[in-house]
Protein backbone atom coordinates (compact mmCIF):
# COMPACT_ATOMS: atom_id res chain seq x y z
CA UNK A 1 0.00 0.00 0.00
CA UNK A 2 1.37 3.40 -0.94
CA UNK A 3 2.02 6.11 1.64
CA UNK A 4 -0.81 8.21 0.21
CA UNK A 5 -3.29 5.37 0.58
CA UNK A 6 -2.06 4.71 4.12
CA UNK A 7 -2.73 8.32 5.13
CA UNK A 8 -6.13 8.17 3.45
CA UNK A 9 -6.99 4.98 5.33
CA UNK A 10 -5.81 6.44 8.64
CA UNK A 11 -7.93 9.54 8.02
CA UNK A 12 -11.04 7.44 7.26
CA UNK A 13 -10.57 5.36 10.42
CA UNK A 14 -9.97 8.46 12.54
CA UNK A 15 -13.12 10.15 11.18
CA UNK A 16 -15.19 7.01 11.81
CA UNK A 17 -13.91 6.72 15.40
CA UNK A 18 -14.61 10.40 16.04
CA UNK A 19 -18.16 9.98 14.70
CA UNK A 20 -18.85 6.93 16.86
CA UNK A 21 -17.40 8.65 19.94
CA UNK A 22 -19.71 11.61 19.32
CA UNK A 23 -22.74 9.33 18.99
CA UNK A 24 -21.85 7.41 22.16
CA UNK A 25 -21.25 10.68 24.06
CA UNK A 26 -24.59 12.06 22.84
CA UNK A 27 -26.64 8.99 23.74
CA UNK A 28 -24.89 8.35 27.06
CA UNK A 29 -27.13 10.90 28.81
CA UNK A 30 -30.81 11.46 27.94
CA UNK A 31 -30.44 15.16 28.80
CA UNK A 32 -27.79 15.64 26.11
CA UNK A 33 -29.94 13.84 23.56
CA UNK A 34 -32.98 15.95 24.47
CA UNK A 35 -30.98 19.19 24.08
CA UNK A 36 -29.58 17.99 20.73
CA UNK A 37 -33.06 17.12 19.41
CA UNK A 38 -34.45 20.46 20.61
CA UNK A 39 -31.64 22.45 18.95
CA UNK A 40 -32.06 20.44 15.73
CA UNK A 41 -35.82 21.05 15.72
CA UNK A 42 -35.34 24.80 16.21
CA UNK A 43 -32.71 24.92 13.44
CA UNK A 44 -34.90 23.01 10.98
CA UNK A 45 -37.93 25.17 11.82
CA UNK A 46 -35.87 28.34 11.29
CA UNK A 47 -34.67 27.15 7.88
CA UNK A 48 -38.22 26.24 6.83
CA UNK A 49 -39.49 29.67 7.91
CA UNK A 50 -36.70 31.39 6.00
CA UNK A 51 -37.91 29.82 2.74
CA UNK A 52 -41.62 30.07 3.51
CA UNK A 53 -43.11 33.00 1.61
CA UNK A 54 -46.68 32.42 2.85
CA UNK A 55 -48.33 35.73 3.72
CA UNK A 56 -45.60 37.76 1.97
CA UNK A 57 -46.37 40.60 -0.42
CA UNK A 58 -45.26 40.06 -4.03
CA UNK A 59 -45.27 42.33 -7.07
CA UNK A 60 -46.21 41.52 -10.65
CA UNK A 61 -43.03 41.49 -12.73
CA UNK A 62 -44.69 41.16 -16.13
CA UNK A 63 -46.76 43.71 -18.04
CA UNK A 64 -49.90 41.78 -17.07
CA UNK A 65 -50.90 38.72 -15.04
CA UNK A 66 -54.19 36.86 -15.40
CA UNK A 67 -55.65 35.43 -12.18
CA UNK A 68 -58.15 32.56 -12.34
CA UNK A 69 -61.05 31.63 -10.08
CA UNK A 70 -59.52 28.14 -9.71
CA UNK A 71 -56.68 26.15 -11.28
CA UNK A 72 -57.49 25.69 -14.99
CA UNK A 73 -60.53 27.91 -14.42
CA UNK A 74 -61.73 31.20 -15.84
CA UNK A 75 -59.97 34.56 -15.72
CA UNK A 76 -61.43 36.66 -12.92
CA UNK A 77 -58.91 39.50 -12.70
CA UNK A 78 -55.93 40.87 -14.60
CA UNK A 79 -53.16 42.65 -12.71
CA UNK A 80 -50.67 45.02 -14.28
CA UNK A 81 -46.94 45.38 -13.68
CA UNK A 82 -46.04 46.24 -10.08
CA UNK A 83 -49.55 45.60 -8.76
CA UNK A 84 -49.23 43.76 -5.45
CA UNK A 85 -50.75 40.54 -4.16
CA UNK A 86 -50.31 38.27 -1.15
CA UNK A 87 -49.08 34.70 -1.45
CA UNK A 88 -51.50 32.32 0.29
CA UNK A 89 -50.03 28.98 -0.72
CA UNK A 90 -47.64 27.37 -3.18
CA UNK A 91 -49.49 24.44 -4.76
CA UNK A 92 -48.49 21.47 -6.90
CA UNK A 93 -47.15 21.89 -10.44
CA UNK A 94 -46.14 25.56 -9.81
CA UNK A 95 -49.72 26.72 -9.21
CA UNK A 96 -49.99 29.65 -6.81
CA UNK A 97 -52.90 30.55 -4.54
CA UNK A 98 -52.91 34.29 -3.92
CA UNK A 99 -55.07 36.97 -2.34
CA UNK A 100 -55.96 40.31 -3.89
CA UNK A 101 -58.10 42.24 -1.44
CA UNK A 102 -60.80 39.81 -0.30
CA UNK A 103 -60.51 37.63 -3.41
CA UNK A 104 -58.61 34.35 -3.44
CA UNK A 105 -57.32 33.58 -6.94
CA UNK A 106 -54.90 31.29 -8.77
CA UNK A 107 -52.24 31.33 -11.46
CA UNK A 108 -49.40 29.13 -12.64
CA UNK A 109 -46.01 30.64 -11.84
CA UNK A 110 -43.94 28.70 -14.32
CA UNK A 111 -41.08 30.53 -15.97
CA UNK A 112 -42.32 32.87 -18.67
CA UNK A 113 -40.33 33.82 -21.75
CA UNK A 114 -39.83 37.54 -22.36
CA UNK A 115 -38.04 38.54 -25.55
CA UNK A 116 -35.95 41.03 -23.56
CA UNK A 117 -35.66 39.44 -20.11
CA UNK A 118 -35.29 35.81 -21.10
CA UNK A 119 -36.78 33.49 -18.47
CA UNK A 120 -37.94 34.89 -15.16
CA UNK A 121 -40.70 34.56 -12.55
CA UNK A 122 -44.05 36.28 -12.99
CA UNK A 123 -44.10 37.59 -9.42
CA UNK A 124 -41.19 38.65 -7.23
CA UNK A 125 -40.71 40.20 -3.79
CA UNK A 126 -39.49 43.47 -5.31
CA UNK A 127 -41.23 45.72 -7.85
CA UNK A 128 -40.09 45.63 -11.45
CA UNK A 129 -37.52 48.42 -11.84
CA UNK A 130 -35.54 49.86 -14.72
CA UNK A 131 -32.55 47.85 -13.48
CA UNK A 132 -34.46 44.62 -13.93
CA UNK A 133 -35.41 45.79 -17.41
CA UNK A 134 -31.73 45.89 -18.34
CA UNK A 135 -31.45 42.11 -18.18
CA UNK A 136 -31.01 40.75 -21.70
CA UNK A 137 -30.54 44.22 -23.20
CA UNK A 138 -27.62 45.29 -25.36
CA UNK A 139 -25.73 48.32 -24.04
CA UNK A 140 -22.64 50.08 -25.38
CA UNK A 141 -19.29 50.53 -23.67
CA UNK A 142 -18.50 54.19 -23.04
CA UNK A 143 -15.52 54.19 -20.67
CA UNK A 144 -13.66 57.47 -19.98
CA UNK A 145 -10.36 55.72 -20.82
CA UNK A 146 -11.73 54.41 -24.10
CA UNK A 147 -11.26 50.75 -23.13
CA UNK A 148 -12.20 48.22 -20.47
CA UNK A 149 -10.44 45.03 -19.34
CA UNK A 150 -13.05 42.26 -19.21
CA UNK A 151 -11.37 39.18 -17.83
CA UNK A 152 -8.63 38.27 -20.29
CA UNK A 153 -10.20 40.23 -23.12
CA UNK A 154 -9.95 43.92 -23.92
CA UNK A 155 -12.96 45.94 -25.00
CA UNK A 156 -13.06 49.32 -26.69
CA UNK A 157 -15.68 52.04 -26.60
CA UNK A 158 -18.54 51.26 -28.95
CA UNK A 159 -18.46 47.51 -28.27
CA UNK A 160 -21.84 46.04 -27.36
CA UNK A 161 -22.48 44.20 -24.11
CA UNK A 162 -25.45 41.93 -23.42
CA UNK A 163 -26.52 42.36 -19.81
CA UNK A 164 -26.83 39.02 -17.97
CA UNK A 165 -27.73 40.40 -14.54
CA UNK A 166 -27.86 43.60 -12.53
CA UNK A 167 -27.27 44.84 -9.01
CA UNK A 168 -29.64 47.57 -7.88
CA UNK A 169 -27.53 48.01 -4.73
CA UNK A 170 -24.20 49.03 -6.28
CA UNK A 171 -25.39 49.69 -9.87
CA UNK A 172 -23.09 47.05 -11.34
CA UNK A 173 -24.04 45.08 -14.44
CA UNK A 174 -22.84 41.54 -15.17
CA UNK A 175 -22.02 40.23 -18.64
CA UNK A 176 -20.09 37.41 -20.29
CA UNK A 177 -16.71 38.30 -21.70
CA UNK A 178 -15.06 36.64 -24.74
CA UNK A 179 -13.60 33.92 -22.49
CA UNK A 180 -17.11 32.92 -21.38
CA UNK A 181 -16.69 34.07 -17.79
CA UNK A 182 -18.71 36.77 -16.04
CA UNK A 183 -17.45 40.31 -15.61
CA UNK A 184 -19.02 43.19 -13.68
CA UNK A 185 -18.94 46.78 -14.85
CA UNK A 186 -20.31 50.00 -13.28
CA UNK A 187 -23.35 51.48 -15.02
CA UNK A 188 -21.61 54.84 -15.53
CA UNK A 189 -19.22 53.17 -17.99
CA UNK A 190 -22.08 52.24 -20.30
CA UNK A 191 -24.30 54.05 -22.77
CA UNK A 192 -27.89 52.86 -22.23
CA UNK A 193 -30.85 53.63 -24.46
CA UNK A 194 -33.34 53.96 -21.60
CA UNK A 195 -36.07 55.42 -23.80
CA UNK A 196 -36.14 52.36 -26.04
CA UNK A 197 -36.04 49.97 -23.08
CA UNK A 198 -38.80 51.66 -21.11
CA UNK A 199 -41.14 51.66 -24.12
CA UNK A 200 -41.65 47.93 -23.53
CA UNK A 201 -42.58 48.42 -19.87
CA UNK A 202 -45.13 51.25 -19.46
CA UNK A 203 -45.75 50.44 -15.78
CA UNK A 204 -42.13 50.33 -14.76
CA UNK A 205 -40.94 51.94 -11.52
| pLDDT for 154 | 92
| pLDDT for 51 | 44
Cβ neighbours for 162, distance < 8 A, ≥ 6 positions apart? 136, 137, 138, 175, 176
As a whole number of angstroms, the distance between CA 35 and CA 145 comes to 61
Q: Which residues pair with 59 in a beta bridge?
A: 84, 124
Give pLDDT tens digits for 54-112. 779 999 998 899 999 999 999 999 999 999 999 999 898 889 999 999 999 999 876 54
Per-domain residue ranges of the chain:
3-50, 57-112, 130-198
Quote the pTM value.
0.62
Identify the band that residue 49 occupies on the pLDDT scale cut at 50, 70 and 90: very low
How many CB atoms are closer than 10 A to CB 1?
7
| pLDDT for 17 | 65
pLDDT-wise least confident of 73-82, 110-119, 177-186: 110-119
Identify the band that residue 113 occupies on the pLDDT scale cut at 50, 70 and 90: very low
As a whole number of angstroms, the distance between CA 84 and CA 126 comes to 10
As a whole number of angstroms, the distance between CA 88 and CA 52 comes to 11
Q: Same CATH topology for 57-112 and 130-198?
A: yes
Across the chain, what does the average pLDDT equal?
80
Contact criterion met (CB below 8 Å) for 136 and 163:
yes
> What is the arithmetic mean of pLDDT over 125-134?
88
SS3 content of the chain, % helix, strand, coil (to 5): 30, 35, 35
| pLDDT for 46 | 46
CATH no. of 57-112: 2.30.30.40
Identify the band that residue 202 occupies on the pLDDT scale cut at 50, 70 and 90: confident
> Does 1.10.520.10 match the CATH number of domain 130-198?
no
Amino acid sequence: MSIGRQFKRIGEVTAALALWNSIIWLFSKPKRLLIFLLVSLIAISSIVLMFDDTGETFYVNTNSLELLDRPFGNTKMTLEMNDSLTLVKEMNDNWMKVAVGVDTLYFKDNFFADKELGYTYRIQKTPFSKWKALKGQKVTLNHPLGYFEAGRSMMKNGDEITVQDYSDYDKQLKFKNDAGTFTEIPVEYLQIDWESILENYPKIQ
